[in-house]
Amino acid sequence: MGTKKVWAMAAIAAFAALGAWLFLGTGPAPAPQSTFVLLDASTRTTADLRGKVTLVNFWATSCTTCVAEMPELVATHEKYHAQGFDTLAVAMSYDPPSYVVNFVETRKLPFQVALDNTGAIAKAWGDVQLTPTTYLVNKRGEIVKTYVGAPKFDELHRLIESLLAET
C-alpha cells in the first residue's frame, strides 16, 4: 500500500475518532447545582443526591405522557429504593401547585416532589421544555442518561441495576 493511502486512512481514522469523541462527549456530566423546594417546604440540593442513584423527573399534571408513566416511576422507585435508589419528581413552573399537591396525594406518590415555581431548576438542567424529561444521576452526582419522553423501563431498570452495583 502506498504512503499516501496510509496517511489518508490514518487521517480519516483520526477525524472519525475526533467526531465520535465530540458526538459522544467525554463522559457523564455533573448534575447542575440546584435547590429543590419540596411539597413539605423542606429543601434538597444537588449535593444531597450524592451517594444514591437518583432519577430526576421533570413532569406536569397536564402532560398525558407524564401521568401515564407515573405508575411505572412508582414501581421503579419501590423496586430499587431499599438498594440506594431515589426518585425526585420536579413539577414544572406552569403547573399550579394545588394540582401537583392533589396529584401527589390522590396517587400516594412514594417519592419526593419539588415545585419549580420560578422555572430556575428546569433552566439549570438544560432548559427543560418538554415533559417528561428524566435524568438518571449516578452515585457521584453525574448525569449518565437523559430521557425525553417516557423511558423504556426494562432498559432503565438494567441501567439502574448496573449503577447500583458500582462502588
91-100 tens-digit pLDDT? 999 999 999 9
For 158, residues 6+ apart whose C-beta sits below 8 A from its C-beta are: none
| Domain definitions of the chain by residue range | 28-165
Rounded CA-CA distance 49/69 in Å is 22
- The answer to whether residue 21 scores a pLDDT higher than 60 is no
**pLDDT exceeds cutoff 70 at 154:** yes
Overall average pLDDT of the 112-127 stretch: 97
- Could you tell me the pTM of the whole model? 0.84
DSSP state of 132: S
Reduce the DSSP state of residue 64 to 3 states and report it. helix
CATH of region 28-165, choose from 3.40.30.10, 3.40.50.2000, 3.30.930.10, 3.40.50.720: 3.40.30.10
- Alpha-carbon torsion angle 114, 75, 159, 87, nearest 10: 20
> Which residue spans within 7-138 are E strands per DSSP?
29-30, 35-38, 43-45, 53-59, 85-91, 112-115, 133-137
